């Protein structure tokens, strides 16, 4: 995913999030708010997945093919940390 595509999606999500905030301010039905929050989370997950895929196909691939073993280790550690954080959420 190109940066401009990611930004476009994130701005759409930002607008959606403002709508959720408005729903809470207006005391909307709780289940409706939860459904909208879940939609925002799903949209964020899609953007995150696309950015990760791009990272794997560029930075990580370059590091793995490179000569520097410490750089390979660094990018692999980063990926592991991202997945560890995702599991904590």
User: Which pLDDT belongs to residue 42?
Assistant: 97
> CA-CA distance, 12 to 28, in Å (whole number)?
21
User: Along the 89 residues of the chain, how does pLDDT read in single tens digits?
Assistant: 788 999 999 999 999 999 999 999 999 999 999 999 999 999 999 999 999 999 999 988 899 899 999 999 999 999 999 888 888 86
- Asked if the 3-88 domain carries CATH number 3.40.50.150, the reply is no
> CA-CA distance, 86 to 78, in Å (whole number)?
12
Any idea which residue has 């595509």 for tokens?
Answer: 5
User: Which pLDDT belongs to residue 83?
Assistant: 85
Enter the pTM of the model: 0.83
Structural domain boundaries in the chain: 3-88
């Amino acid at each position: 995913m190109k940066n401009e595509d990611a930004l476009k999606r994130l701005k759409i999500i930002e607008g959606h999030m403002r709508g959720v905030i408005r729903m809470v301010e207006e005391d909307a039905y709780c289940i409706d708010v939860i459904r909208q929050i879940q939609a925002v989370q799903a949209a964020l997950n899609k953007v995150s997945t696309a950015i990760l895929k791009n990272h794997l196909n560029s930075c990580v691939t370059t590091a793995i093919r490179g000569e520097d073993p410490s750089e390979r280790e660094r990018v692999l550690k980063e990926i592991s940390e991202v997945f560890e954080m995702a599991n904590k959420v």
